[in-house]
Chain A
Amino acid sequence: MYKNIKPHYFSIDAIMAAQEKIPCRFIKKVESIGFLDSSIPEKEDDESDPKIELPFWMVKVFLIEKSIQFDMPKAYNEIYRGVLMADANVVDLFKLCKHFYLFGKFLSQLEHREAYEVRKILIQTFIDRFKQTMDWAQNINDNLPCFDRLDCLERLIFNDARVAQQQLNTYLTDGSGQMEIAAMILNYKKRKMNENRILE
């Protein structure tokens, strides 16, 4: 379970998180990259100062030479930090930023004056929301409305918690040693049935 959550080289979540956009502006003139800013046509090179949005991994490249300055994206700016601090449970994290924790972690590793605050808010948000996530996972049968509000990492935890809860329930009612149809085949059969119904 842990291996799914920790970002590694082949982790799709980590790749997607590094694809999130960051608002930034160039403070030096940089040659041969004018095409990045598609909103300004017929422009040879990026002049100093126009604001553009670049994905995280590009920003990281430009930070090596310090030719760029970035602001914290919306989900991590001062206003939202205040909201999260006040009550993290009411925020729809998925809408705010799909990979809230992972992207936040990447951001806080960059050199920025607000990095420390971001790091703090990430941990606090997770602690505040964790209890609610577990509560939902263990007690609600029809989970869709609240599931939609969870960030990717929380979804993984939520699903694991649900499976564990179901296993416990089966053990309590049926005891151990029951042999069951493989989950993959069960889903495969359900899909087939559905396809057949559509065909008819």
Chain B
Amino acid sequence: MYCDKVIELLKELERSREDTIPPYNNDGINQVLSEMKTLDTEILDILHKNPRDNLPMDAVRLRRAAIERNKRCLMTYIWTRLQRLKEMRWEIGAILPSDVRQNLSQSEIEWFNNYCKSLVSYMKTIGPDTGLNLTQDTKPPKSLYTEVRSLVDAGKLELESGEVLILRKNSQYMLSRSQAEPLIRQGILEQVRH
């Protein structure tokens, strides 16, 4: 029946977890597009075959509705994926894990790069002269420094003062909050609770 293929696409997306992006289903999308083309030619056929004053309007309307619905579903497919990608930019940062990147289509990668660019250039224009990093201090800070424990052997970390710190697993450091926060979000450091 009409639109079954596109519903399959959406189901695939719905089944996947909200914080992942399943592989871009190029074949599925092409199949839906060709279904839409067939529907279009069918409508033209019906219009040509029947006399003008006695058109089977239901048949035409049905096909038209199917085209509209296919369009809506395809756009939803792309939109939902973009929403997830956008969320990843805020949660993970500008560098995506390689297995997420593999699942994206070419235009999605392009979109992501453009989104990063727009975000960065926006953050440069607001706040005091150097700009304001919106991904920082998502929760109100209580102190300038914080004690953290390293969860992995992360290697060298250059501090804002220019000193170089070597992060070793299970050792604790005192870092400035602004520098610790992105690393905590990435799961490299953990805040020590008292």
Enumerate chain A interface residues (CB-CB to B < 8 A): 9-12, 15-16, 19, 30-33, 36, 38, 55, 57-58, 60-62, 64-65, 67, 174, 176-189, 191
Contact = CB atoms under 8 A, between A and B. Distances in A.
Contacts of B79: 10
Contacts of A189: 187
B58 A30 contact: yes
Interface in B142-185: 142-143, 146, 177, 180-181, 184-185
B36 to A, nearest CB: 15
A31 B54 CA distance: 11
Contact of B61 (A38, A64, A178, A191): A64
B185 A182 contact: yes
A15 B4 CA distance: 12
B46 A32 contact: yes
Range of interface residues on B (Cβ < 8 Å):
35 or more
A16 B6 CA distance: 11
B58 A67 contact: yes
Nearest to B93: A182
A182 B92 contact: yes
Contacts, number: 109
A11 B2 CA distance: 20
Contact of B185 (A10, A11, A181, A191): A181
B120 to A, nearest CB: 19
Interface of B: 1-3, 7, 10-11, 13-14, 17, 19-20, 46, 56-59, 61-62, 65, 69, 72-73, 75-76, 79-80, 87-88, 91-92, 97, 139-143, 146, 177, 180-181, 184-187, 190-191, 193
B19 to A, nearest CB: 5
Given A179-B180, A179-B184, A61 B91 contact: no
Given A10-B75, A174-B193, A184-B19, A31 B59 contact: yes
B62 A61 contact: yes
A178 B56 contact: no
A181 B187 contact: yes
Contact of A12 (B10, B177, B191): B10
Contact of A182 (B7, B17, B186): B186
Contacts of B140: 176-177
Nearest to B19: A184
A15 B10 contact: yes
Given A12-B14, A64-B61, A179 B185 contact: yes
Nearest to A174: B193
Contact of B65 (A58, A183, A188): A58
Contact of A11 (B57, B76, B91): B76
A19 B185 contact: no
Contacts of A183: 19, 91
A181 B186 CA distance: 6
Contact of A16 (B14, B92, B142): B14
Closest 4 A/B residue pairs (Cβ): A32-B59, A177-B142, A31-B56, A184-B91
A58 B59 contact: no
Contacts of A184: 19, 87-88, 91-92
A62 B87 CA distance: 40
Contact of A178 (B1, B17, B69, B193): B193
Contact of B1 (A31, A36, A182): A36
Given A12-B10, A179-B181, A182-B92, 12 more contacts: A10-B79, A11-B76, A16-B11, A16-B14, A38-B1, A55-B1, A61-B58, A179-B146, A179-B177, A179-B185, A180-B184, A188-B19
A60 B62 CA distance: 9
15 contacts: A9-B72, A9-B75, A10-B75, A12-B13, A15-B73, A31-B58, A33-B58, A36-B1, A58-B2, A61-B65, A65-B57, A174-B193, A178-B139, A182-B186, A183-B19
